[in-house]
Chain A
């Protein structure tokens, strides 16, 4: 049975039809990991366990009995005694964690270079970064080391690496998917989500992991729609395009997204120009709030109950802890944290108003395509700038999905993001699915996989 390039749902069908067994599928992917992970460094650990169909999981999801480091040396020897809700739900739905994927340490970064276990390489050009922080998951799917993977976003950590690695990456609404068992980064932003090679796979996985969790007080009690079957609806939508999201975007990226807009029109959707608050405000809000939350969330890593001592924290985490602690300090709280919360409220209001007029908003996912490894050090606050187009949705907590929409002259993937209203994941997925059916993402995903053949 030839498995190469098959989507998760295709593999599932083959298993159901008894064309292949799930352990055979897992062993197939373990072989691919053995073959290519040395070059890509997408996986930090591989799980030799057969069960259901394999899925890669970012290393910040606690997996019972399986080392979970969040790519940070502080947690080098940490083996969780409990299971995150997301992996628990995957396991209960016949999916098996094939390995834990590399990431920026503590998810602090947009390149996977801050991993204490070395950077992941972009499968499209191994001298380039895959983006981050879910770079390992995006690279694993892009190079077909796993048919699908789980990532997590604080602001852009699913969409941006999905964009740079040329795959589908969905950040759900905050509260749609439980955060229980996910090593916390910015607690008021964190969202687990799927990284896949098809929109159908994204819809399928979201359906498994979404929904109320009694262990996460911020998880939403809203019923979970059948995302997969709603893809067939081919709804006609009003697509908003905001000028503010095209400032300082690379010309090739801009051209690819503009071409995508024409395709949406051709598909019968109405395109409407809208005005949104400049994403630069989201950068300020995000920078303040995320660091405040980070400084608090990392306080538990004292080495007393588990993990190494605080001496193992690397530079990026220390920087964030100090900045965050500063903004929460007596006398500064109002000027930073409180003010940022107020602006956050304005951003939320702005989105809610716009979604009275349009069903979705589209923009480039990232202003540029994949950078060379090492280039990031030139930019302080690199992540914030790289994620500028991702941060508004993260700050507002709305869902957004990245889909490939072409390649640039270096042959690197370009990503388009679709942002939607709260809990309207099915709308985003529907539009993404129509685009996929129409264009097959211009062959981007297929081309990415073809670079990593079986033999």
Chain B
């Protein structure tokens, strides 16, 4: 077996090497490098009150089939679409949260294809003038570009029952936002992190349930692997904000894996695909361009249709919907209405409260939890009873030391109770210190040789002896005094 390494060459990228095993019989690889090229399409259903182009409820979940429909979303003769303003506004918010430019003029286009769950024979989507373009999301110093954020309508659903296929149009016309990234990913870990961050952002914006199980967030990676020949070393390009993808031609094929409903499955699908492509490339062949489906049972993918069968969608501007134009005032009001986003909140928690980065990150994954944390802090303003209270509160929340079912006020009380200095029985402490020092001669030796950190071990031992009924600071002071002598 020969190991071929693909190196994550992001300028600020982690050093991790992703290894792929290739059969030894494969041709010579003389330092040939293979770099995965991955882009994402993400669909998010908005939780507006009504559907995208009609008055039906956008909440179709668990309703009797075809009960949540009207002439518009059933594609009746003569029915016309009227765009949902809230959906347009929310799409802008998503665009802005992804650092996109918002369009001052946007249009809806008709995208034609035939499928029984598509009532009009076309989907109203956005092709030429989407609501938002040219954004990015930064994660750990890496920048992943967002090509576009556009708005469209969801389709109905096919239900296969025995020999019959039935169509349920309850979902038909639900507002659906499509987010398309540039192919800026070269490993599945980054993809997973990106998707998790995006999910958090969507939840913060409160524009979608983003519930994968219900299908209100659907993920489609497109994957290919670039062959870098010796001599052409893109790794030397170290411009942090310009992607090497812009300087290199894309691989001559790409494989889309459709409608995946978990971040882990996306990661598995990508890992499976990259390995599959490598095996093909090693034989000197090119994988075929196709659409594949993820098979949960063995974390593999399966061919669905090859590109030759794909459609010419015959896009043209939908004559039923006048172009949307947005004033500068409207755009800036929309931008102004954005909540503090998770990344900003994380930074603020670090700066303002001195939280550890990892804890600040975890606390801000859920807007409710982050809000709870801040609420707690407002309740103990000025209190100096517990040292480093914000961090302790954070720990208590994250480690679930105290139940979150308590109201913030009770919660704060409990945390303060837990961490406030204990009354220390000085006689008992003196005895315990002596006993611990006697039992841990080697530690005492090390301390005396200058390994002062050892004292923390001794503090722990004393605390144990005292059954926790002591103020650790006092214990430390006492120990230090005795050791000096």
Residues of A within 8 A of B (CB): 60-62, 68, 70, 75, 78, 80-82, 84, 179-184, 186-188, 214-218, 292-293, 295-296, 298-302, 304-306, 325, 328-330, 333, 337
Q: Is B88 an interface residue (CB 8 A)?
A: no
With a CB–CB cut-off of 8 A, which chain A residues contact B75?
300, 305
Q: Closest approach, in angstroms, between the C-beta of A154 and any C-beta of chain B?
A: 12
In the complex, A136 Cα to B94 Cα: how many Å? 52
With a CB–CB cut-off of 8 A, which chain B residues contact A216?
80, 82, 320
With a CB–CB cut-off of 8 A, which chain A residues contact B77?
62, 68, 70, 75, 78, 80, 183-184, 300-301
Which of B71, B76, B121, B167 is in CB contact (< 8 Å) with A296?
Answer: B121
Q: Is B119 an interface residue (CB 8 A)?
A: yes
Q: Is the CB of B112 within 8 A of A296?
A: yes
With a CB–CB cut-off of 8 A, which chain A residues contact B167?
304-305
Q: Closest approach, in angstroms, between the C-beta of A302 and any C-beta of chain B?
A: 7
Which of B79, B116, B314 is in CB contact (< 8 Å) with A329?
Answer: B314
Which residue of chain B is the closest to A182 with respect to CB atoms? B78
**Chain B, 38-97, CB within 8 A of any chain A CB:** 70-71, 74-83
Q: Closest approach, in angstroms, between the C-beta of A248 and any C-beta of chain B?
A: 31
Contact with A along B327-355 (1 / 0, CB 8 A): 00000000000000000000000000000
In the complex, A302 Cα to B76 Cα: how many Å? 11
Which residue of chain B is the closest to A187 with respect to CB atoms? B319
How many residues of B are counted as interface, with CB atoms below 8 angstroms from the partner's CB atoms?
30
Supply 15 further A-B pairs (C-beta < 8 A) apart from A80-B78, A293-B319, A301-B121.
A60-B78, A180-B78, A182-B78, A187-B319, A188-B319, A216-B320, A217-B80, A217-B81, A218-B322, A296-B110, A302-B116, A305-B74, A328-B315, A329-B312, A330-B312
Which of A84, A214, A292 is in CB contact (< 8 Å) with B78?
Answer: A84
A-B contact pairs, 24 of them (CB 8 A): A75-B77, A78-B77, A80-B78, A81-B76, A179-B78, A179-B80, A180-B79, A181-B71, A181-B79, A183-B77, A183-B78, A186-B319, A187-B319, A215-B82, A216-B82, A216-B320, A217-B320, A292-B316, A296-B110, A296-B316, A299-B112, A302-B114, A305-B169, A333-B316
Q: Is B122 an interface residue (CB 8 A)?
A: yes
Q: Is B321 an interface residue (CB 8 A)?
A: yes
Q: Is the CB of A306 within 8 A of B314?
A: no
Q: Is the CB of B76 within 8 A of A82?
A: yes
Closest 5 CB pairs of A and B: A299-B121, A188-B319, A328-B314, A187-B319, A181-B78
In the complex, A301 Cα to B114 Cα: how many Å? 11
With a CB–CB cut-off of 8 A, which chain A residues contact B169?
305
With a CB–CB cut-off of 8 A, which chain A residues contact B320?
184, 187, 216-218
In the complex, A183 Cα to B169 Cα: how many Å? 21
Residues of B within 8 A of A (CB): 70-71, 74-83, 110, 112, 114, 116, 119-122, 167, 169, 312, 314-316, 319-322
With a CB–CB cut-off of 8 A, which chain B residues contact A181?
71, 78-79
With a CB–CB cut-off of 8 A, which chain B residues contact A302?
114, 116, 121
With a CB–CB cut-off of 8 A, which chain B residues contact A184?
77-78, 320
With a CB–CB cut-off of 8 A, which chain B residues contact A68?
77
In the complex, A187 Cα to B312 Cα: how many Å? 22
With a CB–CB cut-off of 8 A, which chain B residues contact A330?
312, 314
**Given A217-B82, A305-B75: A328 and B316 interface contact (C-beta under 8 Å):** yes
Which residue of chain A is the closest to B311 with respect to CB atoms? A330
Which residue of chain A is the closest to B70 with respect to CB atoms? A82
Which of A179, A186, A296 is in CB contact (< 8 Å) with B122?
Answer: A296
With a CB–CB cut-off of 8 A, which chain A residues contact B116?
302, 304
Which residue of chain A is the closest to B324 with respect to CB atoms? A217
Residue of A75, A182, A328 contacting most chain B CB atoms (<10 Å): A328
Q: Closest approach, in angstroms, between the C-beta of A151 and any C-beta of chain B?
A: 15
With a CB–CB cut-off of 8 A, which chain B residues contact A60?
78
In the complex, A195 Cα to B157 Cα: how many Å? 43
